[in-house]
Amino acid sequence: MSLLIRASCKKLLLPGQQSCTALRSMALMKPMTPEEHSISRANFWDKNKELKRPISPHLTIYKFQLTSMLSITHRATGLIQSGMLSAFAVAAMTLPGTFPVWMQMLQEMHFGAPLIFTAKFALAWPVTYHLLNGLRHLAWDMGHGFKIPDLYKSGYAVVGSSLLMALALALM
């Protein structure tokens, strides 16, 4: 076994062979002491300040794209749903009484229709958006819709459909 390894590495160790070209093209980093490293780091930041370079990626120069915003929103709606479910579960376990008792109490508070509609929409939209965008991701997993125009069409379709579904659920 060692003979086989020695024979295969012989090309790398002998000068004048074709494999030396690969060795010569490698970039070598010299070792740095901790003091040299701190000086280098300080020079880097001083140079960037002198050139008035922003820390990259800087939000003032970054152009948000539909796809990145939909991805961020998908994650946020997942967190919102998790928070709503957790709050409901904790309330169900800790509050005295039953669900009909609490619904009766809410009805006795005589909230206006606009406030109730807004609350229902705030509960429905994260669920509908996350559901529809999850279906969009499943389509991607099957290999559909990866062209840029398709990504934008499906993105706008998810946003529009989720708003319409949430409106329909809030009007119930």
Rounded distance between C-alpha atoms, residue 134 and residue 35, angstroms: 51
* Residues in CB range of 19: below 8 A, 6 or more apart: 11, 12
- Tens of pLDDT, residues 76-128: 999 999 999 999 999 999 999 888 998 899 899 999 999 999 999 999 999 99
Q: What is the mean pLDDT of the chain?
A: 85
Most confident of 14-18, 48-52, 114-118: 114-118
For the segment 123-139, the average pLDDT, to the nearest whole number, is 96
Global pTM?
0.64
**72-87 exposure pattern, b = at least 16 Cβ within 10 A, e = fewer:** ebbeebeebbeeeeee
What end-to-end distance do the CA atoms of the chain give, in Å? 76
